[in-house]
Chains A and B, each alone.
Chain A
């Protein structure tokens, strides 16, 4: 539950939205946001967070330090 999008850097290109395995990303008022309740840091799906890998602006999809890291239950 711990990635977030730096709104000031997001270009609203929507690339991350389609790649998220948890449908955690959606558009709100022109920029994209991650629902921390749904984000699993891609653990259980892919080796790297998909939003980070596809985002054209470096350091825009980043760990949200105000929240605890995701703990896989299995």
Chain B
């Protein structure tokens, strides 16, 4: 399968969405206008992120606030997390890069500007880039991520450039909590600190959100879950942003370790565990659409979600490339992708019917090794992330992904790597792979995780539902007993491809 480009479509700091909306939703679950807007957007639609790609260009280095989870001094090619990039581009370089990538990767449908600073703190560069791209490649969707401080000032321009997706990072609506997350904001030519700063920020964010939705611009909200600071409060944030028309809410885990040099990293503030994150996402889900496939990708990411091909498109390589933008070839390719998607949905629905009438409050999680197209098509040892599905009598629901270190790196450190894989998917009953070696198979079984290769190269959801049916039948016949699984660990650091 051909690889695809990824998009970092959200603000400087991270992102989120819901299973019945952003993430798991399909054509029938939402109004047609919204479906049209999101169906090819890998960040907004969990379904689309198997098939379509996005890219980010790093044209916006300046920022107008400071977050305790960001260290703007940090810039290292080995480290990658929101707000960190190694290559700054001019609007002209960025436009050329977008055309080069779109020509090489026909699934690339979305261009995002998300940082490394705040796009709206760099309005000149951000909007110049949009202008150049909308002239040369009018079929590419534009999106933008912001901390929201200057958002109300730019809604008119956002509208003018037909930017239809905006992500705002909103971590609080209560200034007392905000004061623990934001040391300062730069506002009206002054540095404002403490509660006052947080009050200005939340007022501007909510005002910007209201203005965008009033103008029919699709709006996603990202929140960073910081245990002990805003974890409980994010349920309130969810309600507040929903009442103002946000379409998706993406709750992401705090990324923090001392070597990042952030305030939170240095003072030992921990991130949430996988189950803590899931519990919060579940509790918000009743209220609105949650997005769970966010990879917190870096600001210059290129590729499908969970994949980074940015090394193929460095500035030097791009400036040498002869770019030939072929709109009709791109469209033909995308039509084929649509056919494949429809086949996948039909297969899932057929399988789902056979589940009808099955009881069970029983829910299990399974991990899937995939490189895209909605199929189980990755070797266990080559997976650098697993997608997690929750299986119940309602079917298979995508609930997240887990990054892991490559198990199969050619010899050394295999045992250790396998342990981290097991820790990362420890809450799963089974792991679906295209192929798996004998040794890891044994070790997984010992850890209580069933390796499943019988559905190699099949569609994920269809296979998962079939597996779940078997699982229920085996419980009924007494062949197996259901065991409740424990918690799992979230690997620190944004996604970066090892083979890129």
Contacts and interface: CB of A to CB of B under 8 A. Distances in A.
Contacts of A53: 186, 189-191
Interface string A1-23: 00000000101111101110000
A57 B88 contact: no
A11 B88 CA distance: 12
Interface of B: 61-64, 66, 72-73, 75, 88, 116-117, 121-122, 186, 189-191
B72 A11 contact: yes
Contacts of B63: 13, 15, 56
B64 A46 contact: no
Given A48-B189, A53-B189, A13 B61 contact: yes
B221 to A, nearest CB: 24
A48 B191 contact: yes
Contacts of B73: 9, 11, 56-57
Contacts of B190: 46-48, 53
19 contacts: A9-B73, A11-B72, A12-B61, A13-B62, A14-B62, A14-B122, A15-B117, A15-B186, A18-B62, A19-B189, A47-B190, A48-B190, A53-B186, A53-B191, A54-B62, A54-B191, A56-B63, A56-B66, A56-B72
Nearest to A42: B189
Contacts of A19: 186, 189
Interface residues on A, range: 10 to 19
A15 B62 CA distance: 4
Contacts, number: 50
B251 to A, nearest CB: 26
Contacts of A12: 61, 88
A2 B385 CA distance: 52
A1 B66 CA distance: 28
Contact of B72 (A13, A46, A48): A13
Interface string A39-74: 000000011101001101100000000000000000
Nearest to B62: A15
Given A14-B61, A15-B64, A15-B117, A57 B72 contact: yes
A13 B122 CA distance: 10
Interface of A: 9, 11-15, 17-19, 46-48, 50, 53-54, 56-57
Nearest to A21: B189
Contacts of B189: 19, 46-48, 50, 53
A54 B72 CA distance: 12
A19 B186 CA distance: 10
A13 B63 CA distance: 8
Looking at A9, A13, A57, the one whose CB has the most chain B CB atoms below 10 A away is A13
Given A53-B186, A56-B63, A56-B72, A15 B121 contact: yes
Nearest to B189: A46
A60 B43 CA distance: 37
A12 B73 CA distance: 9
B64 A54 contact: yes
A46 to B, nearest CB: 5
A17 B66 CA distance: 18
Nearest to B66: A56
Given A11-B75, A13-B117, A15-B117, A54 B186 contact: yes
A47 B190 CA distance: 8
A12 B116 CA distance: 11
A19 B64 CA distance: 11
Given A14-B122, A48-B191, A54-B186, 20 more contacts: A9-B73, A11-B61, A11-B72, A13-B62, A13-B72, A14-B61, A15-B63, A15-B64, A15-B186, A19-B189, A47-B189, A47-B190, A48-B190, A53-B190, A53-B191, A56-B63, A56-B66, A56-B72, A56-B73, A57-B73
